[in-house]
Amino acid sequence: MSKITEKVEAMAKPIVEEAGCELWSVEYLREAGTWYLRVFIDKEGGVGIDDCEKISRALDPILDEADPIPESYVFEVGSAGAERELKRPSDFAKFIGSEVEVKLYQPYQGKKAYIGKLEQYSNGDVTVSGTVLTKSQIAQVKLHISI
């Protein structure tokens, strides 16, 4: 995690929690020549636009005053989403038993993506419906919603 995202996470966490939400993640990245700072939140029962607006309005002046980012950027607060990415061990622990999609860097057993039940997480290795995928193979793990 970059130092910028760590600083923003530390500033955002108490504000997000005070609003009755959970801080899911913070991203700071460049897209099409523009820098974006995104704060993703979660809440039991789902996040609404009012939650995002409330947190954005509370956090924006704090970010302006602390000025943790030297360049100009677009600031966004949004829901972690139904098909959110799982990154931290606590994310995986929370969603054991849920359906996930695991994308791989290279094909394994003829597949570059696995969709199935998250059965286990251990030091970056993931077991999905009986298939063990190692940390070095995994590009991304996210929740998967079947229709």
Average pLDDT over residues 18-47: 95
CB–CB of 79/47 below 8 Å? yes
CA 115 to chain centre: 19
- Altogether, the residues listed in the chain come to a count of 147
Token pair belonging to 143: 């929740």
How far is the C-alpha of 11 from the C-alpha of 8, rounded, in Å? 5
* 107 pLDDT higher than 70: yes
| Mean pLDDT for all residues in the chain | 94
Rg over alpha carbons for the chain, rounded to the nearest Å, is: 17
Residues of the chain with pLDDT > 90, as a percent, come to 93
Residue 1 has pLDDT above 70, yes or no: no
Q: Residue 78 forms beta bridges with which residues? A: 40
pLDDT tens readout for residues 43-65 = 999 999 999 999 999 999 999 99
pLDDT band (50, 70, 90) for residue 127: very high
Residue 127 CA to residue 92 CA, distance in Å, equals: 11
- Predicted confidence band at 146 (pLDDT cuts at 50, 70, 90)? confident
Is 80 exceeded by the pLDDT of residue 76?
A: yes
Q: What is the Cα–Cα distance from 9 to 11, expressed in whole angstroms?
A: 5
pTM score of the predicted model: 0.82
Q: Which domains does the chain have, with CATH numbers?
A: 3-79 (3.30.300.70), 89-143 (2.30.30.100)
pLDDT of amino acid 147: 77
